Amino acid sequence: MMKKLTFSIVAPAVAATALLAQPPARRGDTPPDPGAFVERRVEFLTKLLSLTEDQRARATSIFTEAGEAAQAVNANLAAPRQALAEAIKTNSVAAIDQAASEIGGLHGQLTAIQAKADAAFYAILTPEQRTKYDALPRGGPGPGFGPGGFGPGGRGPMGRGRGVQQ
């Protein structure tokens, strides 16, 4: 009886320890699911602002379209990033300037996509909801919340960290 009791307590503890000992997933191991990101964002905004079903549907559409547009721009970032990495290795100042300028332009496009999505979302809010939304700190508690949530001081394009694009 004591063996069974000990085993029933120790076995789950050992299993839990083994699971917790696994290294955390590294950024980039699995790409973020844009649909899940939009769903979480709309769910949070629904709780925060008491969105109606129509507003939820419209917000989902707005943020999905923005995510798709951002993915297209993000796909174009690989080449200039590679060029920048090579320019750094060869200490080519002109190539660094060119690659950085191209990356900056693409980041500007991402910022515009986010700002337009935020503006379209803001336009569907009632005056009471806008008051709540406006009261959020700049950049808010997460990506895209509050005015300027993706701009300077925000979490970066698509909320992937402080200005870091993957």
We report the CATH number of the domain holding residue 129 as 1.20.120.1490
pLDDT in tens, 90-118: 999 999 999 999 999 999 999 999 999 99
Task: Give the span between the Cα atoms of 68 and 166, in whole angstroms.
Answer: 15
Residue 27 lies in a domain: no
Q: What is the mean pLDDT of residues 33-59?
A: 93
pTM tops 0.75: no
Top mean pLDDT of 10-19, 89-98, 138-147 is at 89-98
Domain housing 114: 33-147
What count of residues does the chain have? 166
The confidence band for 135, taking pLDDT boundaries of 50, 70 and 90, is confident
Q: How many domains does the chain have?
A: 1
Q: Which whole-number Å values give the CA distances from 41 to 9, 20, 47, 141, 144, in the listed order?
A: 40, 28, 10, 11, 8
User: Pick from 161, 58, 155, 73: which is nearest to 112 by CA?
Assistant: 73
Q: Scanning the structure block, which residue is given the tokens 């955390």? A: 24
Domain presence at residue 109: yes
Structure-token match 């085993």, residue found = 7
H-only helix segments in 50-92: 53-75, 78-90
